[in-house]
Structure 1
């Protein structure tokens, strides 16, 4: 495992047999409109924006205010409708005259960025990475989330870290020690759960790691409510973690690993 530390292009570790990080479910979220797959409330987007390229902004799977008080309504609106949308729009612009690259799924492109012209490689790394990370992030949270994982994921966490409390402590440390903008992750790497972090919008799949759980620690994810109090945001986030989704990613990852 080699966590990335900046956003400049670097040679990528490619495994010829590596499969998509979240299977067809994530591919659908990243590359196609979802219509009404998720029930919407009046506080949530009613439909996904019309696509202007190969990638589409997925609608939130819950209302903007659904994660209150852990994550406030205005932050969710800006984070999804402005920041995530910007990643999608910028990626589509960069791919406008790259028909072969546009045929790749976002995950395939991130794992093989060397195929992209050097002039747009960093832009794709940042914006496609932001699209992939956020498409996962929305699903990794739920208004019915929180608590502790169950089943095989819980067993694997206890086996690897000793207890859920110890895992949570180490994950919090990764989130707090990530300097500047980035993410904290729980990943599956060669069949083993590991905690890591990435800078900017780099994704674990760039290192052939399967993301199981991820926390956005960019300031735009929490500053309206928590200002510079990142520890409070990290603590509150555990109340909305969608362990069912994390467990589904873990199950898929086990089959691919």
Structure 2
């Protein structure tokens, strides 16, 4: 993946793979870009892949970059991308059961992950490709250690964004499609909540993710330790629950049960329902 001028994200696909035509057609101005040895040529006006060989383009489409992703001057030539922290000031003082200090400190910690992923990638960028093998070693190597830790601040960044994005709701119940999906997987809303609490109890120093499994098309809970250990494949993430102590210690001490009650009272079910809708659309288009 790379970023081109105008804060547009490019998703690379190895040559020979069938392009996600159903994905391209959703864009208002679909285009294609061919990347060959970092030489960029354009094919504008691509409509559902017509007029372009399915094997000749390594990259299928690009679209407006999400707010948290910004382009650096060297991005077009294969340089690093700078991730900017999103703003969550609107949550401070507006989440029932959470003090402003708790949320402010949590946001500050999230900003630290953003800073670290940028630092790690900048350091890796300094190591020429031809020297990386010499700096990689099972016991210790500069490149291998940077690579080993890369997933922690990267996932830490986007898991926190998912968490903050699915907060700020009300006590309104989930929409019909989401309710049916929850009941189809867990039997009832109350069973789902009990399972969430059970997973959160043992996912100390980690996360519980409500996911949509693209294989069995059902919802599941995925326990994650740290930010990267235990993440299951073939999952679309719908709801993120932070179970690290920093998410609740200021307000709740060690009372995780009360934290979970406050969390559930603030879930933005509209956001969760939209994630499910997008997940099922992608699964049908695959």
- Which residue in the other structure is 2:225 paired with? 199
Give the CA deviation at 1:158: 1.1
Of 198-207 and 220-229, more deviation after overlay is shown by 198-207
For 1:95-134, what per-residue CA distance to the aligned partner results, in whole angstroms no more than 9, with x for missing partners? 114459xxxxxxxxxxxxxxxx522123211100100101
Change over 3 Å in CA distance of 1:212–1:121 after alignment to 2: same
Please point out which of 53, 59, 75 is paired with 2:102: 75
1:65 aligned onto 2:93 = yes
- Which residue in the other structure is 1:175 paired with? 200
Structure 1 SS opposite 2:209:
strand
Query: For 1:135 and 1:93, how far apart are their aligned partners in 2?
Result: 19
Higher strand share: 2
For 1:190-215, what per-residue CA distance to the aligned partner results, in whole angstroms no more than 9, with x for missing partners? 22111121001128876231110111
Query: For 2:264 and 2:87, how far apart are their aligned partners in 1?
Result: 22
Superposition CA RMSD, Å: 3.0
For 1:42-92, what per-residue CA distance to the aligned partner results, in whole angstroms no more than 9, with x for missing partners? xxxxxxxxxx95111000162411103x22110111110x21111000100
Contact 1:147-1:238 within 8 A present in 2 as well: no
Q: So what's the TM-score if we normalise by structure 2?
A: 0.63
Please point out which of 190, 209, 215 is paired with 2:235: 209
- Which residue in the other structure is 1:132 paired with? 158
Contact 2:184-2:218 within 8 A present in 1 as well: no
Query: For 1:25 and 1:203, how far apart are their aligned partners in 2?
Result: 30
- Which residue in the other structure is 1:186 paired with? 210
Gaps of 5+ in 2: 1-16, 24-61, 72-79, 127-142
Give the CA deviation at 1:237: 0.9
Larger radius of gyration: 2
Q: So what's the TM-score if we normalise by structure 1?
A: 0.70
- Which residue in the other structure is 2:82 paired with? 54
Contact 1:187-1:204 within 8 A present in 2 as well: no
1:31 aligned onto 2:69 = yes
Change over 3 Å in CA distance of 1:86–1:247 after alignment to 2: same
Contact 1:91-1:123 within 8 A present in 2 as well: no
Change over 3 Å in CA distance of 1:27–1:241 after alignment to 2: farther
Give the CA deviation at 1:27: 5.9
- Which residue in the other structure is 1:118 paired with? 144
Contact 1:61-1:139 within 8 A present in 2 as well: no
Gaps of 5+ in 1: 1-15, 34-51, 101-116
Structure ranking higher on relative contact order (CA contacts 8 Å, 6+ apart)? 1
Structure 2 SS opposite 1:67:
coil
Contact 1:32-1:56 within 8 A present in 2 as well: yes
Give the CA deviation at 1:32: 4.0
1:250 aligned onto 2:276 = yes
